[in-house]
């Protein structure tokens, strides 16, 4: 597929989808739409992935999302999207769905990311909290990290890089084509993390 370019800007425009079955879809779309050179779209059917170079699987209710992924025949499409070397970011519930293994569960996952996670590792919704920290590879600026019924990454495979950890807790990881975060960058006013995701996509696509 030919690359699209912003007229007069000299920079590549990329289409990035947000899986729009359940969860924080609007928040991710809002952040993506603030970034120059991005066309953001809600993905409600597998065929809508065709022109995307990146995809966000948002936070939400992972059990519900898992059922809807199966009901709308997304499983094979998402795995194929990854095999085509497009970039996928899973946030919170999205991270759980992407994981190779979920502690104490045998439910079917997408098994894209070679990690083991523990769901609700920080407690219930009432235990939600916000921290501020710097993720050096992402930005030198301090970011707000929002945790809501957040999963914890317990183990990682040899192909997985730790993107962020605190107090020996792994909270964000990545590979060449995948990102997973326990926290919700879309629930802050900052687009720092989304910009990192976009830059990763453009670097691969260029």
Q: Which residues are annotated as a binding site for L-glutamine?
A: 60-62, 119, 148-149
Predicted local confidence at residue 126, as pLDDT: 60
Residue 131's CB is within 10 A of a number of other CB atoms, namely: 12
Is-contact 139 150, C-beta < 8 A?
Answer: no
C-alpha span between 78 and 11 (Å, rounded): 27
C-alpha span between 24 and 188 (Å, rounded): 12
Here the CATH number for the domain that contains residue 188 is 3.40.50.880
Local confidence pLDDT in tens for the 206 residues of the chain? 334 433 333 467 899 999 999 999 999 999 999 999 999 999 999 999 999 999 999 999 999 999 999 999 999 999 999 999 999 999 999 999 999 999 988 877 799 999 999 998 886 676 789 999 999 999 999 999 999 999 999 999 999 999 999 999 999 999 999 999 999 999 999 999 999 999 999 998 77
Q: Which residues are annotated as a binding site?
A: 60-62, 119, 148-149
CA-to-CA separations, 186 to 24, 41, 58, 83, 132, in angstroms, rounded: 8, 15, 9, 26, 15
Instruction: Provide the domain count of the chain.
Output: 1
The residue with tokens 């990763």 is 200
As annotated, the active-site residues are: 92, 184, 186
Which structural domain range is residue 150 located in?
A: 4-205
Predicted local confidence at residue 11, as pLDDT: 63
Output the pTM of the full model. Answer: 0.92
- Measured over the CA atoms of residue 34, residue 182, residue 179 and residue 50, the dihedral's sign is negative
């Amino acid at each position: 597929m030919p690359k699209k370019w912003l007229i007069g800007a000299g920079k590549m425009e990329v289409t990035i989808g947000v899986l729009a079955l359940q969860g924080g879809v609007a928040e991710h779309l809002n952040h993506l739409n603030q970034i120059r050179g991005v066309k953001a779209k809600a993905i409600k059917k597998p065929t809508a992935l065709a022109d995307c170079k990146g995809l966000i699987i948002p936070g939400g209710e992972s059990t519900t999302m898992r059922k809807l992924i199966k009901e709308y025949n997304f499983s094979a499409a998402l795995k194929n999207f990854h095999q085509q070397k497009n970039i996928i970011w899973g946030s919170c519930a999205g991270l759980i769905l992407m994981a190779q293994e979920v502690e104490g569960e045998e439910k079917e996952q997408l098994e894209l990311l070679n990690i083991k996670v523990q769901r609700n590792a920080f407690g219930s919704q009432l235990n939600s909290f916000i921290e501020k920290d710097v993720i050096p590879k992402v930005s030198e600026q301090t970011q707000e990290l929002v945790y809501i019924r957040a999963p914890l990454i317990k183990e990682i495979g040899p192909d997985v890089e730790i993107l962020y950890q605190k107090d020996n807790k792994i909270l964000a990881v990545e590979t060449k084509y995948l990102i997973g975060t326990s926290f919700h960058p879309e629930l802050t006013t900052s687009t720092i993390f989304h910009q990192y995701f976009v830059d990763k996509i453009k670097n691969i696509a260029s």
